[in-house]
Structure 1
Amino acid sequence: MAYADQDGMGTNRLVSVVIVLLLHAFLGYALVTGLAYDAVISIKEKMTVVDVKVEEPPEEEEEPPPEPEKQIEPPVVSPPPMVVTVTPPPTIRTVDTPPPAAPIVPTAAPPAPPPPAVISAAKPRGNPGNWANTNDYPSRALQQEREGTTGFRVTIGTNGRVIDCSVTQSSGHADLDAATCKNIERRARFTPALRNGEPVQGSYSNRVRWQIPK
């Protein structure tokens, strides 16, 4: 089978070559004789010309240019709000500085005070109630039945006798007050006051009550 097919194919190819040669020879003759145009037309009508288009290799499609990389924009971050802290100025307190104290100058120690004096008050001798009695009552005051109490104060000399007498509280009757000092000056005797053992003037105070005996 293989050989038979090969022989048939060779005969067909040979016949085709011969026909082509004949056509070329005819066309050359027609051209030479001026009948080329008519002959070509008649042959064209009789022959079916099959245009064999040679497929051109497909054009390589150009790869589209790479899309430009999109730049990723960084997110917009709003800055935090600025907080301004206003610090009040410090309060300045003015402190009055006292003037410096004057230096203490040591002074000489004062002399020691003398020892306190020892004083003893004047003391009456005997009973003071005997210095004035019923017999000393003024007659007019006795007749009018006037009574009262007279306060007195006497100054005593260094000899113990009364130097002076004064009324410190009136009885309300001048004759009774006068009788009081008169009898005290005449009868009162004292032990004088002493200062460090030495007799000095002193004083004494008391009262006389004038009362009419029943």
Structure 2
Amino acid sequence: MDFARQQRDPTRHLIGIGFVILIHLLVVYALVTGLARRAVEVIKKPLTATIVEEIKAPPPPPPPPKKIEIPKVPPPPQQPYVPPPDLPVPTISQQPVISAVTPTPPPEPPVIAPPVVAPPPPPAPPKPAVRKGIVPISRVSPEYPREARRKNIDSGRVIARLNIDEKGNVTDVKIVEANPARVFDRAVIDALLQWKFQADGEKYVGEIEVEFKLTD
């Protein structure tokens, strides 16, 4: 019965209608003045999240190293001092010593040996006045004389000396010995004048022996 009475009370009914109207007016005002739009923009703004890292406390320092105590070595025990025994001091008789001083002879001056001079080479032996056994480089054999054939002389020997110039040419012939005499002389002279010897650079005299033998 109380609820029905409240519904019928006109004063309370009017107050409720007025409250509803007031709310509507506030909403319209907000729309007109833009308060609603500002509220929407504030809602639309992005939210920034800041992550705060946790600051950790530094680790405690390591404990200091333990000191190793080195045991002290006790010093060696001191030996009691023992005085040395008294020894008799020997007596030394001091007598004057006479030393003979031998004077040092002065050094001898160095001996300078004279320079060794090589002896001159021995002189060349003199060449013989007459060279024997000379050998020609070009020769002509003497002819057997007709007189020796006519007299039936079948052999002979002639020794002649030749004058030879610097170029080895025979310039003169002299008969030193002939057997038989004056049989083969001319033939020997004519042949030896055509002989040629090795040039010696100087003139000299040579000796030649020529033998004749008649053969059939």
Flag whether TM exceeds 0.5 (same fold): no
For the pair shown, the structure with the greater C-alpha radius of gyration is 1
> TM-score, normalised on structure 2?
0.36
Q: Which has the larger helix fraction?
A: 1
> TM-score, normalised on structure 1?
0.37
